[in-house]
Chains A and B, each alone.
Chain A
């Protein structure tokens, strides 16, 4: 089951997260909903990301694929170039560069969709309605933990607690 705590300030929300983490609720069970991005201090609610790695790897992959594509198609098609070399790295370098960048672009967008959870199978977790200026902290907890969680939320200064 899910509990929703509403907070008006970042500080109270931070306190709630730290308190809940101390009580054994991991970052997986916690989600913060807001209308703008909230900058928590380091260590509060870190979400490790592999995006940079994925983007660089995709860019390099696209680069390699493009070079192979250009080279092999230029050789396999019976092209008559009249003395120009069939594959010329410098003359076609721009194409490799652009497609490398395209790889970076597509992968950053694609990985964003994956890492944010937007394209994963819709989880059954309920999404709280967020009023402007409000920070909603959603806690996933079992029936037994409900009281502990509520207590932490109230202590931290939640302006409202609802069961989702």
Chain B
């Protein structure tokens, strides 16, 4: 059974000049993907899970400080360093170019997380818990991950699957859908007419940590220096 050549190749463009750092994308992702809610004690130990996070970088001295916000999520690399090192094939690139994480298969060696240069992989250290009444708000399309399993952004693969089944127009992951500044664009890189393809080829498009050769499919649009 060889790899199907799919018609879609999903990618994303994030405009860093539009991003305000409001973190609506973070909240939306939590709601959509049943992310476990941490507590202050565990968060202080670095156990909080945010499939998409907004990294803030400060430049300059007061009063001439510039803040740069960069939403970082799984880059769905074409040459992902996390893939070859998993001993049980729990993570691999599917025919649509998504780097999928198979929760049932993961035994929890955490090698993939060590090898991800973007630090976008998160581990379930305990069984997930939600403070009342958030446990009633789960998305039925997304499975709950048990303790010992690795997880990360999936480009909301459940929405992509729905789109492919229903054929309704336009699929957007939760983060893209919720961005008030419309800084994020999602689409099919195989379609030259799609907005994301055009943005990816614009002069402002860069790739994060491009020099590592991971070939990410998330394009960051920045003012050309």
Which residues in A have some Cβ–Cβ distance to B below 8 Å? 78-84, 91
Contact = CB atoms under 8 A, between A and B. Distances in A.
Those 6 A-B pairs whose CB atoms lie nearest each other, nearest first: A82-B93, A78-B1, A82-B92, A80-B92, A83-B93, A81-B92
Interface in B9-64: none
The secondary-structure label for the interface of chain B is loop
A79 B84 contact: no
20 contacts: A78-B1, A79-B89, A80-B3, A80-B89, A80-B92, A80-B94, A80-B95, A81-B89, A82-B3, A82-B83, A82-B92, A82-B94, A82-B99, A83-B3, A83-B79, A83-B93, A84-B83, A84-B84, A84-B92, A91-B84
A9 B57 CA distance: 86
Interface residues of B, number: 12
Interface string B65-103: 000000000000011000110000100111100010000
Interface of B: 1, 3, 78-79, 83-84, 89, 92-95, 99
A84 B86 CA distance: 13
A84 B3 CA distance: 11
A83 B215 CA distance: 13
Contacts of B1: 78
A81 B84 CA distance: 9
A47 B127 CA distance: 65
Contacts of A79: 89
A77 to B, nearest CB: 9
Nearest to A80: B92
